[in-house]
Amino acid sequence: MNFIGAGIAVLSGIGAGVGIGIATGKAIEATARQPEAAGKIMSTFILGAGLAEATAIYGLVISFILIFTV
């Protein structure tokens, strides 16, 4: 039963991947429209990508906890 929960927890990685993909596309569009703001756009993008990736890592940690305990 723990393996089902672990599989569901790992699915958070899908949302993180989609979110980072969309954010990357929008950051590239914004840089293409305003090249002079590229530094500010990229720093904001890196912060957002880090936060999105954290959700995937939390899901991975929860899945490991569910698999290796009990």
In 3D space, the residue among 18, 9, 8 whose CA is nearest the CA of residue 52 turns out to be 18
The string of pLDDT tens digits covering residues 2-38 is: 888 888 888 888 988 999 999 999 999 999 999 999 9
Instruction: Report how far residue 66's alpha carbon sits from residue 63's, in angstroms, rounded to the nearest whole number.
Output: 5
Does pTM surpass 0.75? yes
66 phi, psi to nearest 5 deg: -70, -35
Mean pLDDT of 47-60: 91
Predicted pLDDT of residue 7: 87
> Tell me, what's the pLDDT at 12?
85
SS3 content of the chain, % helix, strand, coil (to 5): 95, 0, 5
Q: For residue 1, is pLDDT > 90? A: no
The CATH homologous superfamily of the domain defined by 2-68: F1F0 ATP synthase subunit C (1.20.20.10)
Structural domain boundaries of the chain? 2-68
